Amino acid sequence: MVYLRRANERGQAHFGWLHSQHSFSFGSYYDAAHMGVSVLRVINDDVVAPGAGFDTHGHKDMEIVSYVVSGALEHQDSTGNRYVIPAGEVQLMSAGKGIYHSEYNASKSDSLNFLQIWIRPNVKGIAPSYQQCKPQQTGMLTPLVTPDGVGGSLQIHQDASIYRVRLQQEESVTLEVPRLGYLHVVHGDVQLAELTLSMGDGIALPSGQAVTLRANSEFEALWFDLPVSLTE
């Protein structure tokens, strides 16, 4: 186990309308010991007040994944896309050579919680693009984002994949780690060897092993299969 990131150790940002917790360095929060894992650069756990959100801003050469935990996210961008992403759905915006977008809480009465994930692409200067899907959980491990769009997943410009792990209490699943793995807990508690991982915790696992997760409660997490070395 090469890296353990506890939820209560994450960077914090409070702006009244936004409470954001940063697993890795982001914005005004900087820590040289937490700059990401492989091509995974950002996991921000954002809670947005009703009707509030991020005004129009730009991105370039980044694969940006939004996973909505609760509520609904309204997206609009400079290529003409305008969509609402409800809880359980996933969005992938390839910023490419440059794109402007805004993100708002689609509700005027309920808070929005979503994970904003940035992954470095393996190609730069491409035309920006947008994808969205509602992944159907057919087992304990469901692909959300992959390089080849397997199983109806969103197709990313990087040799990296994101899976959703869902377990009922006392269920277990074994994860193979052929390269470099990273687990981010969305909710619930799980046992990994002698470690208990809870909501917001993250852990990186080195290649060449298999790890077993056993749920202490209803459990959901994102599992990242990442290259060992950076490829940009």
Tell me the pairing of strands 40-48 and 112-119.
antiparallel
**For residue 208, what are its two tokens?**
């060449």
Nearest partner of 11 among 34, 29, 35, judged by Cα:
29
Residue 1 has pLDDT above 70, yes or no: no
Going along the chain from its start, the domains and CATH numbers come out as: 10-135 (2.60.120.10)
Torsional sign, CA 37, 196, 177, 214: negative
pLDDT digits (tens, 9 = 90+) for 114-169: 999 999 999 999 999 999 999 988 889 999 999 999 999 999 999 999 999 999 99
Whole-number Å distance between alpha carbons of 11 and 117: 15
Is pTM beyond 0.85 here?
yes
What pLDDT, on a 0 to 100 scale, did the predictor assign at position 139? 87
Contact 103, 51 (CB under 8 A): no
pLDDT digits (tens, 9 = 90+) for 54-97: 999 999 999 999 999 999 999 999 999 999 999 999 999 999 99
pLDDT digits (tens, 9 = 90+) for 104-125: 999 999 999 999 999 999 999 9
Residue type, 71: G
Torsional sign, CA 36, 40, 41, 46: negative
Whole-number Å distance between alpha carbons of 5 and 35: 12
